[in-house]
C-alpha cells in the first residue's frame, strides 16, 4: 500500500515539476547567429549568437532584450510597432546603409516587432556612402 502512495506522489511531483519548467520557458525568444556587427537601438553589437526575448509582457509596448552569452553584449530596445501573427520562421531582418547593418525587424513565433532606425544614424551612413563615392570618383 505504501508503494502505491509513493508511486502516486512521485507521479504528481513529476507532473507539477514539468508544468513549472514549461512555464519558465520563453516561447517568444529568438536565438540567431549574426555574421556581422550590427546596430540595435543606439548600440553597436559585435557579430555572434544572440538571444532576443521580451523583458516584460505586462505593457502594450514590450521592451526586448538582445543579449549574447558569447560576446557578453546586451541591449534593451523598444519596438515602435508590433504586428501579431503566428510564424514558424523566427528571424531578424536588417537594413544595410553604407557598410552598417541596422536591426529593423524581429520575427518571433508570436508576431513581428518593428524597430525604428535613428534618423541621425541614417544621415551619417548616407554621408559616409556619399563621401566614399566622391573619393572613388574622377574628381
In a domain, 120, yes or no: yes
In a domain? residue 21: no
Q: What pLDDT tens digit does each residue of the chain (139 aa) get?
A: 555 544 454 444 444 444 433 333 455 688 999 999 999 988 999 999 999 998 765 555 578 999 999 999 999 999 999 898 888 888 999 999 888 999 999 998 888 999 998 777 666 666 666 665 555 555 5
Number of independent structural domains in the chain: 1
Query: What's the domain range around 70?
Result: 27-136
Q: Is residue 6 part of a domain?
A: no
Specify the pTM: 0.66
Residue 102, pLDDT score: 94
In a domain, 100, yes or no: yes
Sign (positive or negative) of CA dihedral 122, 37, 54, 76:
negative
Residue 20 · residue 76 · CB < 8 Å: no
Q: Does residue 10 fall inside a structural domain?
A: no
Residue 80 in domain? yes
Q: Is 9 exposed, middle or buried (0-12, 13-18, 19+ CB in 10 A)?
A: exposed
Question: Roughly how many angstroms between the first and final C-alpha of the chain, as a whole number?
Answer: 95
**Does residue 19 lie within any of the structural domains?**
no
| Confidence (pLDDT) at 126 | 66
Are the C-beta atoms of residues 90 and 107 closer than 8 Å to each other? yes
Residues 6 or more apart in contact with residue 71 via CB below 8 angstroms? 45, 46, 47, 48
Q: Is residue 125, in this structure, part of any structural domain at all?
A: yes
Amino acid at each position: 500500500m505504501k508503494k502505491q502512495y509513493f508511486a502516486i506522489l512521485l507521479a504528481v511531483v513529476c507532473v507539477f515539476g514539468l508544468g513549472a519548467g514549461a512555464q519558465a520557458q520563453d516561447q517568444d525568444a529568438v536565438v540567431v547567429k549574426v555574421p556581422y556587427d550590427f546596430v540595435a537601438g543606439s548600440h553597436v553589437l559585435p557579430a555572434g549568437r544572440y538571444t532576443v526575448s521580451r523583458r516584460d509582457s505586462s505593457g502594450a509596448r514590450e521592451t526586448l532584450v538582445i543579449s549574447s552569452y558569447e560576446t557578453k553584449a546586451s541591449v534593451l530596445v523598444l519596438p515602435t510597432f508590433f504586428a501579431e501573427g503566428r510564424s514558424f520562421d523566427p528571424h531578424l531582418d536588417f537594413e544595410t546603409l553604407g557598410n552598417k547593418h541596422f536591426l529593423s525587424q524581429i520575427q518571433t513565433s508570436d508576431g513581428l516587432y518593428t524597430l525604428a532606425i535613428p534618423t541621425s544614424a541614417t544621415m551619417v551612413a548616407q554621408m559616409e556612402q556619399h563621401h566614399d563615392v566622391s573619393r572613388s570618383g574622377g574628381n
